[in-house]
Structure 1
Amino acid sequence: MIFDLETTGTSCQLDEVVEISAVKVVSGEIVDEFSTLVNPGMPIPYYASEVNGITDDMVADSPTFEGVLRNFLEFVGDAVLVGHNIHTFDMKFIQRDAQRYFGKSIGNDYIDTLQLARTYLPQLRHHRLVDLADYYGIDAEGAHRALNDCRMTQQVFEKLRLEMENPSDAAKKVKKCPRCGNILRKRSGKYGEFWGCMSYPECKYTQK
C-alpha cells in the first residue's frame, strides 16, 4: 500500500494535513485508490501552496482529517505502507493524528523508498522522488500532489525492487545503521571523522 501526504508545512508539531492519497498494489499493478483533500482548520501558507498547488479555496468544503484518517486506516487495513521519505515525514503526521483523534498508534510496518534509494543507488547525488523518476525515465508531471506522487512512488518502488535483487558493487559497500537500518554517512566532528546515522536526531548511533 503506497501513500502520500501534502501538508501546510514540514513541522508535525505545527502543521496539518491538506491532502492524503493511497494506492493499493497487487502484483505490481494499482488495483484501487484512495484520495481526498482535507480542510486543515488553518490557513495554508503561501509557500506550501507554491509547492503543492493546494489553496484555501480548494479545501474550504473538504472534510476534516479526523474522519478522513478513519477512512484511510480502514482502506489500508494491516497492509505494509510504502512511501517516499515517510520515515521522517508522513508517518509522523499519521502517528500524531492517530494519537490525537483515536488515542492509539498505528502498528503497520512500512518501507521508505528514500532509504532504499540511498542504499541501492549511492551513485546518485540526490534522492528526491523527482530525481528517481528522472533516473528511471518515469513521468513526473503533477509531482507534489498526493495521488500523483503515489503513482510515481509505485513505479519507482518496482524499479528499486530490481535493484535489491541485483545490487551494484557500490550498493554492497553502503554501511547501514545496526539500530534503525538507515544509512550511515561519513561526517566530521570535533574529534575527526565518524560514521553517523542519517536518521539523526531520531537515531543517534555513531561509529568510529
Structure 2
Amino acid sequence: MVGNKRGKRLAKYEPSYVVFDLETTGINSNTDRIVEVAGIKVVGGKVEDTFSTLVNPERSIPKRATMVNGITDEMVAGAPKINHALDEFLSFSENHILVGHNIHTFDMKFIYNATEELYGGVIDNDYIDTLYLSRKVLPQLRHHKLVDLSAYFHISSEGAHRALNDCWMNQKCYEELGKLQSNITVEICPKCGGELMKRNGKFGEFFGCGNYPECRYTRNI
C-alpha cells in the first residue's frame, strides 16, 4: 500500500471505493496539518462501513481554519496524533480506489506528505476526483464546489466542512455523477485508466493521457 509510486487519477466511475475527506489547519500541504480524517467504504454501490476521527495537529489551529470547519484546539486536545490516525485510515481504506472532491490538488497532497514523513513512502491507491468528473459531465454549471453539486442533485449540505458530513454528500454526488457519465463519451487511457485529452503537438492534435508525465500514452486522432 505504501511504496515509491503514487496512484493514478482515474476518469471512469467505479462501484467499489472509499470516499474520503480531510479537514486541515490551512491550505498549504507542506506546512499545514490534518485535523480530521473521515471515510465511507462502498462495495458494489452499497455503503459497508464508515470511519471518522479528529487528529491532534500538535499545534494551534488558526482562527481562519476554525471559522471554516468549526474545529477548535479544545476539540483535538485528546485526539490521536497523525501517526495513529493515519494508521487507522490506511487500514480502513486498504487498497480501495479513493474518491474525493478536489483531492487531486489538495487532500492527496496532504496524504502523500504525511505518509512520506511517517513511512518513507506514498500510498499507491488509484483515485477519482469528483471535481474533474463534475466538470466533464456538468459543463453547464458555473461552479463545481461540493455544495454546488449537492444543490444540483438536491442533496442536503447541512454540516458541510466537517469531514464525515462532506463524505456523505460526496458519496451521493459521486453516484449521481456516475449515472450521468454513462450517457457521455469519455476517452479512457487503456494503459492507466486516466482520461485521454486532446492536445496540440508538433504534428497537430493528438490524444494524451491526463496522468502525464506518469503515463505517457498517446494516440492519434
Task: Flag the 1:182–1:129 CA change in 2: closer, same or farther, 3 A.
Answer: farther
Task: Flag the 1:175–1:128 CA change in 2: closer, same or farther, 3 A.
Answer: farther
What is the distance in 2 between the residues matched to 1:183 and 1:39? 41
Match of 1:139, SS state, is coil
Give the aligned residue type for 1:38.
V
Match of 1:42 in 2: 59
Match of 2:170 in 1: 153
Q: Is the 8 A contact 2:97 2:126 kept in 1?
A: yes
Match of 1:27 in 2: 44
Give the aligned residue type for 2:44.
S
Match of 2:133, SS state, is helix
Match of 1:117, SS state, is helix
Superposed, 1:25-104 pairs within 5 Å as 25-104=42-121
TM-aligned CA deviation for residue 70 of structure 1: 1.0
Superposed, 1:142-181 pairs within 5 Å as 142-167=159-184, 181=195
Task: Flag the 1:88–1:59 CA change in 2: closer, same or farther, 3 A.
Answer: same
> What stretches of structure 1 move > 3 A for 4+ residues in a row?
180-184
TM-aligned CA deviation for residue 67 of structure 1: 1.1
Superposed, 1:116-131 pairs within 5 Å as 116-131=133-148
- TM-score, length basis structure 2: 0.77
Match of 2:40, SS state, is strand
TM-aligned CA deviation for residue 28 of structure 1: 2.3
Q: Is the 8 A contact 1:119 1:183 kept in 2?
A: no
What is the distance in 1 between the residues matched to 2:150 and 2:80? 32
Match of 1:75, SS state, is helix
* Seq. identity, %: 52
Alignment RMSD, CA only?
2.5
What is the distance in 2 between the residues matched to 1:52 and 1:142? 9
TM-aligned CA deviation for residue 132 of structure 1: 0.1
Higher RCO (CA < 8 A, seq sep 6+): 2
Q: Is the 8 A contact 2:187 2:195 kept in 1?
A: no
TM-aligned CA deviation for residue 14 of structure 1: 1.1
In the alignment, structure 1 residue 15 sits paired with structure 2 residue 32: yes
What is the distance in 2 between the residues matched to 1:2 and 1:182? 24
TM-aligned CA deviation for residue 29 of structure 1: 2.5
Match of 2:12 in 1: none
> Going by fraction, where is helix more abundant, 1 or 2?
1
Match of 1:25, SS state, is strand
TM-aligned CA deviation for residue 182 of structure 1: 8.7
- TM-score, length basis structure 1: 0.81
